[in-house]
């Protein structure tokens, strides 16, 4: 594993999941890249986290290929609330409506993932907007509940990590938002990581292994994302984090898959020119 300054992670608004949709600048870093062959090691981990660039069709096809091989008992989506996921799980024909209700876009890009679900249960781990607003204004621990000590949102981050994560949030928001807002956005990211980790462990207990998680690459990183919180809460549970990225990255994962970049306009152009 390598340690270096990480790139931006996923941010506040569940509809766009942050202003900026990009991968970090190309940098030299040790990478574990397998461009063909099996994605997962054998034996398969209890929980497999599949990171993505949200608007990249090739990333979603890669996730779908893993799911088809994995045949998970359940798939946790960061895009769906528990209520929306329960609706889709009960009736797959309602999945598009549940997706729309969540505020997420790019439903068609996720079609390969939906086609690869098989008999897997659909589980949601997105927080409602009012909860996210409350986390931003207050603290992740207060909203997370009594098991916050198990997953860590009640604990202050080391000063250097807090500063690094605030800088990443500032960059991810095109450097146009006040820096004093970044601490709240770090709190939101930590809350989302913890909710995803808890949902994955609950699904593992309910449905058995393996369980898969579909989430942005910022959530899949192994140093402070979902895998790290699962290790904190349940050290006996094994995880494997695969990231589908658009270029070399300094974020740590168990496995990195580089996919062709998606065509997109500069998401910061409108903000930085106003």
CATH number, position 151: 3.40.50
In a domain, 63, yes or no: yes
Q: Specify burial of residue 257 (Cβ count, 10 A radius: 0-12, 13-18, 19+).
A: buried
Measured in whole angstroms, the distance separating CA 79 from the mean position of its chain's CA atoms is 9
C-alpha distance across the termini of the chain, in Å = 41
Q: Check: CB of residue 80 under 8 Å from CB of residue 122.
A: yes
Give the SS3 label for residue 49: strand
- Give how many domains the chain has, as a whole number: 1
In a domain, 131, yes or no: yes
In a domain, 269, yes or no: no
In a domain, 38, yes or no: no
Which secondary-structure segment (H or E) carries 204?
Answer: helix 182-207
In a domain, 205, yes or no: yes
In a domain, 29, yes or no: no
In a domain, 231, yes or no: yes
CB atoms within 10 A of CB 205: 11
Q: Each residue of 63-72: pLDDT tens digit?
A: 999 999 999 9
Closest CA to 185 of 29, 57, 6, 8: 8
In a domain, 193, yes or no: yes
Euclidean distance between CA atoms 91 and 79, whole angstroms? 17
Q: Each residue of 93-150: pLDDT tens digit?
A: 999 999 998 888 889 999 999 999 999 999 999 988 888 889 988 878 888 999 999 9
Share of the chain above pLDDT 70, in %: 82
Q: Which domain holds residue 65?
A: 47-260
List Cβ neighbours of 262 (8 Å cut-off, separation of 6 or more).
Answer: 53, 55, 56, 57, 58, 246
Q: What pLDDT is attached to residue 17?
A: 41
């Amino acid at each position: 594993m390598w340690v270096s300054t990480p790139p931006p992670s996923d941010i506040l608004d569940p509809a766009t999941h942050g202003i900026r949709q990009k991968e970090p600048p190309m940098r030299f870093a040790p990478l574990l890249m397998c461009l063909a062959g099996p994605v997962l090691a054998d034996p398969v981990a209890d929980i497999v986290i599949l990171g993505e660039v949200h608007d990249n069709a090739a990333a979603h096809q890669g996730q779908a290929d893993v799911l088809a091989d994995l045949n998970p008992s359940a798939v946790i989506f960061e895009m769906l609330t528990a209520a929306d996921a329960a609706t889709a799980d009960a009736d797959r024909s309602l999945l598009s409506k549940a997706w729309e209700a969540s505020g997420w876009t790019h439903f068609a890009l996720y079609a390969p993932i939906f086609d690869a679900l098989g008999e897997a249960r659909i589980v949601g781990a997105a927080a409602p907007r009012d909860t996210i607003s409350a986390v931003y204004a207050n603290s992740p621990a207060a909203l997370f509940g009594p098991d916050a000590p198990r997953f860590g949102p009640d604990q202050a981050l080391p000063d250097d990590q807090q500063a690094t994560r605030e800088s990443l949030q500032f960059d991810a928001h095109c450097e146009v938002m006040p820096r004093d807002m970044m601490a709240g956005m770090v709190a939101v990211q930590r809350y989302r990581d913890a909710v995803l980790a808890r949902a994955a462990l609950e699904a593992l207990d309910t449905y058995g292994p393996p369980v898969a998680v579909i989430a942005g690459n910022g959530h899949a990183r192994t140093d402070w994302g979902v895998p790290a919180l699962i290790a904190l809460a349940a050290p006996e549970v094994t995880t494997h984090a695969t990231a589908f990225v658009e270029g070399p990255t300094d974020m740590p994962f168990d496995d990195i898959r580089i996919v062709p970049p998606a065509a997109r306009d500069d998401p910061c152009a409108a903000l930085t020119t106003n």
